[in-house]
Amino acid sequence: MDKDFILLDDDIIRTNVNRIPTIEFSDCVKEILYKEIEMTIVLKLLGRNIIYNVLFNRITSLWRPIQPFQLMDIKNGYFLAKFQNREDYDKVLTQGPWIIFGQYLTVQPWTKEFSPLQPYPSVVLAWIRLPRLPGFMYKRKILEAIGNMIGKVVKFDFKTDNRTRGRFARMALFINLDKPLIS
């Protein structure tokens, strides 16, 4: 892991702010670090605290990953799950909802903006439906355009995608709870 990582003097920016030493790193270093955490998911079990071993055992049996993943316990009831392969990563993000001890396990991709200091996740994966959508509008691009007005579309209900469901369209999307919700 650290063998390939080279930190040059120009990559370290040391300063003093009000006589307090501070350190920053170059954008190049930040991009390398962000790339390493690219397939990482932020987890939080809503309404209940859970210990590392119990969560690890539960999600391993729920997700049945192809390759092992790393789980890290961080602040405020949050965990990070780092995946080795894209298929496992995508499956966890899109095939929920994941329920543990009757509680909803939130999953969201790690982003630079994530802060474990927030009491609840700012982004959640939610399934939405579009009732009374005319059948002729059941085209992937149309549904995606509608969904993207609400959040980032990550999955369509298979039956919706094949237009066999006449009453409503369903899709999973990431909704940012820091923004006003659309109804």
* Predicted TM-score (pTM) of this structure: 0.72
Can you give the residue ranges of every domain in the chain? 36-110, 125-176
Residues 6+ apart with CB under 8 A from 10: 26
The pLDDT confidence band at residue 12, using thresholds 50, 70 and 90, is confident
C-beta pairs of 116-119 under 8 Å, 24+ apart in sequence: 116/74, 116/75, 116/76, 116/78, 117/75, 117/76, 118/76, 119/76
Domain spanning 36-110, CATH architecture: 2-Layer Sandwich (3.30)
Confidence at residue 125, expressed as pLDDT on a 0 to 100 scale? 80
Residue 35's pLDDT band, with cuts at 50, 70 and 90, is confident
Mean pLDDT, rounded, of the chain: 84
> What is residue 161's three-state secondary structure?
helix
